[in-house]
Structure 1
């Protein structure tokens, strides 16, 4: 059962005597409000420890009362002439009481003022809580968040070797692949398409504006022409042009006839149209069937000259840049970018959800391969360990003050009395053994001193 600090105070923790000042009381139960973030909480496990502390306090106090009773009886027997042995018993009991009281004072002074008296250097934990917190933060920063300590510890652990062995097992690779797929799906689900499209569109536009495209296009076209890669395109254009002329002969002749002067006879216009159509058809057929046709050579020369102009002619390059800017500024281009992102997103999500997709299979194979390499390649392991060490050292050296301030600020925010009770619940049981040991050791020391004194004729 979680208890409030007020309820704990009601149990009589402050100013208790050697018997604990009524620590056996449970106090008045009060409604416990939710603790703020970073606040010190008092759990059921803490309450169970506290009951153990109370039992040990009762035992230590009972032992003190027992030696006090023995001392009283021994002194009574000594005055009644019961024998010399009573002096030994009285000396042992007296020293046991002194040891018990001294250790009670020392243990109590850690958590509160003994008997409620304002004795200097008592109630150490409540009054020095913030100082202890700063000291703890400094200790952690100097001894645990040191770059050399972190590097040495990571080097001893051998993370790369362990990680490689772990990743090289198929079941672990499956698990990592599934987690990555879940992360990808979650990230793509959270991202809004409009935001991504805006970012991608802006990035493409900015990158295209920053780089001149004409020289690159010219170099690529020059290589294509030199390798003859354009010839299949020319073949396709010739075939489609011939087929179109065959299918649209009337349209061609109609266009020629419609462009003739009005004073020419109609039959002459028709003859001219037929003649022009046949010549166009013959020309298209020859270009289609003759790889070495002069027109094909003219196309080759045109493309080669255009490729050189794209790379070296200032006017041509400027025209291409203007055309590029006009194209990027058109809404249709932005729509294409948006549609491309939507398609890519849908494809990635589908691949991530499908356990047998090529994407997941390749990721799994890559993880297995990486694990095998890390497990067997000492140079790779050294590189990975070096990267991890450098990253960890950077973090602890850069953010050491923030990390240690987390400790000091958290401890500073704790209630002093509540902190004292919390610590006492965890270590109080062992501290009560100090009282018990003090009683026993004091009694033995008193017995020895009394015996030596008697033996030396005191």
Structure 2
């Protein structure tokens, strides 16, 4: 639109000049001619100057100092990148603005306000889309490859020996024994174990009672109540529990650990079997099913309505903790600001590099068109102003010359 007005201005000046030539015998003709010529000169000069910024006027490439922006493209890009990096978004400017921020207070306010249903839906959809982009098969293959390689480099037998040695030297073997003994006692005190013990004692006595006389005596003792399998099982269970709680049981356990450690350390065949079992176990891990199961569980959790309720509770608790502990707010704010400034100083040159790369990747015609779109409209008004000012100057000069 602005270019049309500029061209119309030149057209009007040309029409006025032709009109002055046609009516050159009239008194006002010299004034109109002077004004039109000056307007044409000013308009054409400004047209040439504006056009020379972006391209070659009339396509004539041998004219000097034309297509200035295209010819100095690299220098302009470097100047723009330097301006953005060192002036507009300098390290000092960004640091000063970071220091003014009340990050901890804004964080507390953010944690106190639960996400709206719209934000929850957007975040849920975004999370589901991210999950859809995850290549499950590739992750499973990478995990399988990683675990297989690591398994070959890990000597499990040495780890077992080191673990047993550490248990004994650090005296954690006693705590480990107490842990095992506690669970064994729970099993011994269960009703199922007592009933199974009764049946096994009864089967054992009947198995070793072979002669007819022994069977008659056993049946007589059972009928008289002398042999009570329940009491017998309780007695055996009590003896086992007492033995587990004695120092002798721990000594036997510790001795067994030492024997295990020495056997694993010195028995080459056992070490080979342990390593083979380790490799076989690693090779049979169903990574694809495991990854698929994890992804299904993640999607299920994301789509649960209770998820955001739990997240809101956690956010509220965090906000309350920060609000009641100002020192935590100060520590958090200092940590965030220090981290941000550190990252800023490390990656600040990326700003200028991004500007340079983005501008250099533009096609030359795209580069010129964008610049002309942003500033060319105002430059067209310069053409209009040149024609008008030139015409007024020409008219003024004609008047001055007439009176002189």
Question: Under a length normalisation based on structure 2, what TM-score does the superposition of the two structures give?
Answer: 0.68
| Residue 198 of structure 2 is aligned to residue 252 of structure 1 | no
TM-aligned CA distance change 1:309 to 1:100, over 3 Å = same
Q: What is the RMSD computed on CA atoms of the aligned residues?
A: 5.0
Aligned to 2:175: 223
Contact 2:2 2:380 (C-alpha < 8 Å) held by counterparts: yes
| Residue 182 of structure 2 is aligned to residue 234 of structure 1 | no
Q: Which has the higher helix share?
A: 2
* Cα deviation digits, residues 431-458 of structure 1 (max 9, x gap): 2211111122223344555666777xx5
Deviation at 1:356, TM superposition (A): 1.9
What 5-or-longer segments of structure 2 have no aligned partner? 222-226
CA distance, structure 1, for counterparts of residue 359 and residue 274 of structure 2: 60
Q: Say which is worse superposed, 212-221 or 430-439, in terms of deviation.
A: 212-221
Contact 2:46 2:386 (C-alpha < 8 Å) held by counterparts: yes
TM-aligned CA distance change 1:431 to 1:181, over 3 Å = closer
* Cα deviation digits, residues 361-390 of structure 1 (max 9, x gap): 433433455567779835423432433343
Aligned to 1:110: 53
TM-aligned CA distance change 1:335 to 1:439, over 3 Å = closer
Aligned to 2:141: 195
Aligned to 1:171: 115
Give aligned pairs, total: 381
Aligned to 1:301: 248
* Cα deviation digits, residues 227-246 of structure 1 (max 9, x gap): x8834522523656543231
CA distance, structure 1, for counterparts of residue 310 and residue 167 of structure 2: 33
CA distance, structure 2, for counterparts of residue 104 and residue 338 of structure 1: 69
TM-aligned CA distance change 1:350 to 1:289, over 3 Å = same
What 5-or-longer segments of structure 1 have no aligned partner? 1-51, 258-264
Question: Under a length normalisation based on structure 1, what TM-score does the superposition of the two structures give?
Answer: 0.62
Contact 1:167 1:372 (C-alpha < 8 Å) held by counterparts: no
Deviation at 1:421, TM superposition (A): 4.6
- Answer 1 or 2: higher relative contact order, Cα 8 Å, separation at least 6: 2
TM-aligned CA distance change 1:253 to 1:188, over 3 Å = farther
TM-aligned CA distance change 1:448 to 1:130, over 3 Å = same
CA distance, structure 1, for counterparts of residue 286 and residue 29 of structure 2: 107
Contact 1:217 1:310 (C-alpha < 8 Å) held by counterparts: no
| Residue 14 of structure 2 is aligned to residue 58 of structure 1 | no
CA distance, structure 1, for counterparts of residue 130 and residue 146 of structure 2: 18
TM-aligned CA distance change 1:241 to 1:301, over 3 Å = farther
| Residue 47 of structure 2 is aligned to residue 100 of structure 1 | no
Contact 2:10 2:39 (C-alpha < 8 Å) held by counterparts: no
